[in-house]
Amino acid sequence: MKVSLGSKNCLYPMPITIIGAQVNGKPNFNTIAHVGIMDFSTISISLAKVHYTNKGIKENKTFSVNIPKEGLVKETDFAGMVSGETTDKSKVFEAFYGSLKTAPMILECPINMECKLIQTIEFPKHEVFLGEIVETFCGDEFLVDGKMDISKVQPILFVMDGTSYWNLGSKISNAWKVGKELVK
Amino acid sequence: MKVSLGSKNCLYPMPITIIGAQVNGKPNFNTIAHVGIMDFSTISISLAKVHYTNKGIKENKTFSVNIPKEGLVKETDFAGMVSGETTDKSKVFEAFYGSLKTAPMILECPINMECKLIQTIEFPKHEVFLGEIVETFCGDEFLVDGKMDISKVQPILFVMDGTSYWNLGSKISNAWKVGKELVK
């Protein structure tokens, strides 16, 4: 039986990301699961307006989206628990930079997307930053024949009910294939 | 060693959703993985401009976001393979409606979010629709003490490299907890 939960966002699990931004001249990192795909070169990240990271994104108009691996779950959780306002998070990870110069990326993360801010959408308590991906970096140990092997990446997934981290299971099937038998 | 992949969207895995819209007086369903969380009551869905579904969303200013379970993978894949322009998909799933009247939801899906269109963002080949969640429905078999149990939902996850569907693995840890030991 269907029951109503009111107006509740149940779009989970979502991939955990760590957002990198240069704030007050230092790299800062913030863990964010409220992200999205706009198109093949654009990502959205939603940050509560109170976050320290927002200042750097607005100032430099750049940020990075980093995909942590399961082995980084403690550091990832920590980066989401404490604010850059009171805790220097610049040494939690090793930062590296690309052509934008002000979007610190995380060396330890399998995947890093260097982004240029192209639009900001205002919500009552959140700012959603849309970033155009300028360049993507990947550790070569996560690639097989030039393609990303998600089972090697071991991404972390977030679920709001129970506020928990999950890992990826196994491959069910190929997309645009398993449904073919229903085509008449 | 880090290698550059150019500008490549690697924000995966993403939760597979089926978008419901009323088009030409009939329910239509379209499988979409390029979604996002804007804030606690707002979802983004990105649809290529060529999609049939877009017409209904623009006409009625409503749509639904449905979370299929692993057991529906064939039907889910099928809904993403064929266009409503040439194939009547109104009978692939059993539709039900909420207060908006024009956002068909899928009875077989564990979770259904009934949305009101609040904004459209234009990209070269895509339209991103922002939907305010008006009401969320959930099968009572997926709830434990009123909270959604994601392991019972068995959502389907999409990965672009290898264009494949994956299931959820196991819980790694609690969020805002496992990182506490790094707090000094």
Q: What is the pLDDT of residues B8-67, one digit of tens each?
A: 999 999 999 999 999 999 999 999 999 999 999 999 999 999 899 999 999 999 999 999
Cα separation, B9 vs B37, in Å, equals 17
Q: What is the pLDDT of residues A6-49, one digit of tens each?
A: 999 999 999 999 999 999 999 999 999 999 999 999 999 999 99
User: Judging by beta carbons within 10 Å of its beta carbon (0-12, 13-18, 19+), is residue B170 exposed, middle or buried?
Assistant: exposed
List beta partners, residue A15: A157
Range B56-85 average pLDDT: 97
- Domains parsed from chain A with CATH numbers: 14-182 (2.30.110.10)
In this structure, the number of other CB atoms found within 10 A of the CB of residue B26 comes to 15
Contacts A–B by Cβ distance under 8 A? 335
Would you state the pLDDT for residue B184? 78
Q: 101-160 in B: which are within 8 Å (CB) of A?
A: 107, 111-113, 119, 121, 123-126, 128, 130, 132-140, 143, 147-150, 155-159
Q: Which of B2, B160, B100 is nearest to A15 (CA)?
A: B160
Alpha carbon B78 to chain centroid distance?
15
Would you state the pLDDT for residue A46? 98
pLDDT at A155 over 90: yes
Residues 6+ apart with CB under 8 A from B28: B20, B21, B22, B52, B53, B56, B84, B89, B90, B104
In this structure, the number of other CB atoms found within 10 A of the CB of residue B20 comes to 33
Range B140-144 average pLDDT: 96
Rounded to a whole number of angstroms, the distance from the CA of A167 to the nearest CA of chain B is 5
| B chain contacts of residue A136, beta-carbon cutoff 8 Å | 4-10
Would you state the pLDDT for residue B146? 86
Whether the CB-CB separation of A68 and A80 falls below 8 Å is answered with: no
Q: Tokens in use for B139?
A: 């099968």
| B chain contacts of residue A11, beta-carbon cutoff 8 Å | 15, 17, 35-37, 43, 65, 67, 113
Would you state the pLDDT for residue A184? 78
Give me the percent of chain A exceeding a pLDDT of 70.
Answer: 100
Would you state the pLDDT for residue B171? 98
| B chain contacts of residue A176, beta-carbon cutoff 8 Å | 77, 80-81, 163
pLDDT at A53 over 90: yes
H helix runs in chain A, sequence order: 53-60, 73-81, 150-153
Cβ contact, residue pair A44, B36, below 8 Å: yes
- What is the interface pTM, i.e. ipTM, of the complex? 0.97
Cβ contact, residue pair B73, A11, below 8 Å: no
Whether the CB-CB separation of A23 and A103 falls below 8 Å is answered with: no
List beta partners, residue B36: A36, B44
Would you state the pLDDT for residue B83? 93
Q: 79-108 in A: which are within 8 Å (CB) of B?
A: 79-82, 92, 96, 107
pLDDT at A166 over 90: yes
Alpha carbon B61 to chain centroid distance?
17
> What's the pTM value of the predicted model, to 2 decimals?
0.97
